Structure 1
Amino acid sequence: MRFLSTGSVLTVFLILATAARTEDLPRSGQPVFDRVIELVNANFYDAAAIDRFNAAARAQINSGSGPRSGARAPAQATEAITSVLANLGVSHTGRFTPDTIDYFELSDIFRFAIRDDVRRLFAPDGEVRYPGIGMVTLAVGGRRFVSDVYDGSAAKKAGLLVGDEVLSVDGLPYREIGSFSDKVGRSVDIRLRRYRDAEPLSVRVEVERLRPLPMFEHAIEQSMVLDERDGRTIGYVRLWTLSTRDGLDLVAEALSRGRLKDAEGLVVDLRGRWGGGSADAAEFLVGGTPTFRLVSRRGDVTLANFRWQKPVVALIDEGTRSGLELFAYTLRQNSVPLVGERTAGALLAGRAYVLPDDSLLELAVSDAVIGDDLRLEGVGIAPDISVAFPLAYAAGKDPQREAALRVMGQLLDAGTKGRTIPSSEPAMTR
């Protein structure tokens, strides 16, 4: 007789137990909805929320508008999935469809997690691409406004500004992906309103095929500028995400011997799109180890380790989330002044899954605890200096950035290391 090892017995037991639980899950017969239920039950980080989640799923199934087969199945499933996931009440959890920019950007960020599907989804080479102009919008009061213009993008070059109201693209209502499909290499006519009650403007922008992570890397590099004011030279860089391979290396190189090397102080903009990155990403701004280079026999120099030793001011808002939020927390712990608005309170570990209709499920799979018991999820970090940013009809004005530059000027005039601005409210609660 062949005996199973203790580990094998445990494995079999877990498989049987999982199968038993799977049979007890809420079932609608709609494959996308049911797969979401399975994935949440198997992977969501907070076991205490599962019973509540399943109860919400059963309520959706039993409701008159719940998920089911038939002509309206996709729309009903979308509404039902949105509702049950919202019941979990946490960040890093949502469903994304291919008619949104988020779908493509997250697919690139999570490309390793979806590696078995990425070549099929993004044929022929598995490189994530989408048609666009480098602009992101946000709905406010039933109208749609430009919320981000990526540095170096076609939208930036064409003169689109944050705060512009988007009225139409080629005479049709704006759609994130649909407005630019089949138009790569051609220009589109974007109708917009820059000032409240003003006459509309028309701007022509060339449509590109965008690869999210290389685009973000390029945007980080293109954002770097030196601002000369009141006899001071202040560097600025925007970290759109920490998920790129070489983004932080580009910043370190610029500060070490590139376009930002002559800066007396640095404003680092953490008002990003996505987080990502390693837990020690902020170390090059606050770490104690010295800068050093490797020099070859031929005299070739490689920057091996860089540490910025001059003043820093950081910009934060609700776009500061996940890894960028941890970055901001690290700066706060090192007394770097934070300017702007409270961060997102979105610090969990997420993972992506491809659903049966090729939509993407992002799911929080791990809690994130700083030290012994500090959690930023649902709390966020308050700025030291609070500055609002009304989006609608901002006409490209950025009061938060202007405030950060003023703070840096004050720190430089005072001759400090730039780390003594008092907080106007507690940074966070436990």
Structure 2
Amino acid sequence: MRTLRTALLILLVPLALIVGILLGGHPEFLPGFARDTLVADSDGRLYEEAVDKIEADYYREVDRGKLLNTSLEKAVESLDDQFSHYFSPTEYHAFQLDTEGAFEGVGMSVTAVAEGLRVAEVYDGSPAKEGGLKPGDVITSANGKSLKGKTSEESTTLIKGPAGTEVTLGLKDGRKLKLERAKVDIPIVQSRTETHDGKKIAHVSLAGFTSGSGDDVDRAVKEQLKRGAEGVVFDLRHNGGGLLNEAVEVASVFLKDGRVVSTKGRSRPERKYNATGGAIASDVPVVVLVDQGSASASEIVTGALQDRKRAKVVGTRTYGKGVFQEIMRLENGGALDITVGEYFTPSGRNLGGGGVQKGAGITPDIQASDNPETEPDEALDKALETVTKD
């Protein structure tokens, strides 16, 4: 009998809920579990109802997918967070290529400035090179859309696109360049031997923290040491960051153990990341070379090596980003790239300005900057001088 009563109760509870709603009951009078479910569903139905009405009654035909992308984009914009973005399916595909070390675009590295993007490097054989772009050029628009006030991620998304399509770049000097996009393999790690005061020094530069870049840096540094290099200048200028796990792997090239970074957020418990082993000898002098374009993962590595006194930092103040994001795939093929927490260097520093504001960044031990109008790289020269003295 008890089993029968229980079964009847299980059947009657949802029936009572349905009857109550049909008779005009308000969700606030429902049990919590039911209210949450129904209200959430109500929000979804409200959105569907609005889109249905626009699609059916707007005076001209509309693209339902475009409405969805725009609404998601505006929802993320309402967070007032320069580091959080919504990627449409097309944009997310381009982002994936970028983090894998290849993308469909014009072939350059850039840093954000007030007017748009300043070109830092132009890769050989790229559409940008063939079109006449040079380091120091400032791009102010892409296909007629102003880049003023946008983050580097937002601006580069407007420039990237499928291979074979065209993009018109407006420059601060008044030029307009029409470039045909292509699939470009980015030289993520570049290395060479420099000589200063009779000593061989490895100059290893990293363009971004993409998949596998930790292994690439490890290979490049150790190969240069085998060739007789007596010190390392690790160049992170214009490097806007990338994958957190790759930042830990890169730091592990120079730190044999101990803390690299820790993270925590409102819905993310504190997590501590330590060096993974396999570092070069601790008596090899190291200098990290940075500038205002060094951000995020670049600041994690630089902060770890500075706090742990493994390297001196040469250059200019870094960008000042103290938060990290996670990518969340969506059913439409797009993704949310949203801020989920803050990161802290081994000494407990957060390099941001509180929350998602741009902060003080890392102050170099030795100030140096390159004058783009001159042939020598003054910042690199200062880094070589510093590592030679250590």
Q: TM range, normalised to the smaller chain? A: 0.5 to 0.7
1:237 aligns with: 204
Change in 2 beyond 3 A, CA 1:229/1:177:
same
Match of 1:375 among 341, 350, 357: 350
Amino acid at match of 1:236: H
Percent identity for Structure 1 against Structure 2: 21
Correspondence list, 1:325-344, <5 A: 325-335=299-309, 336-344=311-319
- The question of 1:255 aligning with 2:227 is answered no
The C-alpha deviation readout for 1:228-268, integer Å capped at 9, x for no partner, is 455443322222233322x2323333333359833332211
SS state at 1:275 partner: coil
TM-score normalised by length of structure 1: 0.54
In 2, Cα distance between the equivalents of 1:219 and 1:353? 25
Q: Provide closer, same or farther for how the CA distance between residues 265 and 192 of structure 1 changes in structure 2, counting only shifts above 3 A.
A: farther
Contact 2:117/2:139, CA 8 A, preserved across alignment: yes
Equivalence map 1:53-202=2 (5 Å) = 73=67, 77=71, 80-86=74-80, 89=81, 92-97=83-88, 103-104=92-93, 106-107=95-96, 130-137=103-110, 140=113, 142=115, 144-149=116-121, 154=126, 158=130, 160-166=133-139, 173=144, 183-184=163-164
Aligned-partner Cα distance in 1 for 2:348–2:160? 46
Match in the other structure for 1:225: 192
Whether the 8 Å contact between 2:101 and 2:210 is mirrored in structure 1 is: no
CA drift of 1:145 comes to 4.2
SS in 1 for 2:253: helix
1:316–1:343 CA contact under 8 A, matched in 2: yes
Match 1:284 to one of 247, 253, 256: 253
Q: 1:405 aligns with which of 377, 381, 386?
A: 381
Q: Does the CA contact (< 8 Å) of 2:369 and 2:379 recur in 1?
A: no
The CA deviation at 1:208 is 2.6
> CA separation of 1:155/1:224 partners in 2, compared to 1, >3 Å: closer, same or farther?
farther
Residue type of the alignment partner of 1:361: L
- 2:336 aligns with 361
CA distance in 2, matches of 1:164, 1:367: 33
- Please say which structure displays the higher CA radius of gyration: 2
The answer (yes or no) to whether the contact 1:225–1:260 under 8 Å persists in 2 is no
- Paired residues, number: 310
On the 8 A contact 2:122/2:134 being kept in 1, the answer is: no
* Offset, 1:280: 5.4
Give 1:208's aligned residue.
182
RMSD across aligned C-alpha pairs, in angstroms? 4.9
The structure where strand makes up a greater share of residues is 2
Task: Identify which of 289, 294, 316 aligns with 2:290.
Answer: 316
Paired residue type of 1:341: T
Is the CA contact 1:256–1:306 (under 8 Å) kept in the aligned structure 2? no
**d(CA) in 2 for partners of 1:348 and 1:168?**
28
Question: Larger relative contact order (C-alpha < 8 A, sep ≥ 6)?
Answer: 1
Contact (CA 8 Å) 1:104, 1:128: kept in 2 or not? no
| 1:85 shift after superposition | 1.7
How far apart are 1:367 and its partner, in Å?
A: 4.0
Structure 2 gap ranges (5+)? 7-30, 52-62, 146-154, 259-276, 354-358
Q: Quote how far apart the aligned CAs of 1:151 are.
A: 5.1
Output the TM-score relative to the length of structure 2: 0.59
CA distance in 1, matches of 2:342, 2:114: 34
* Cα distance change on mapping 1:251 and 1:92 into 2, 3 Å: same
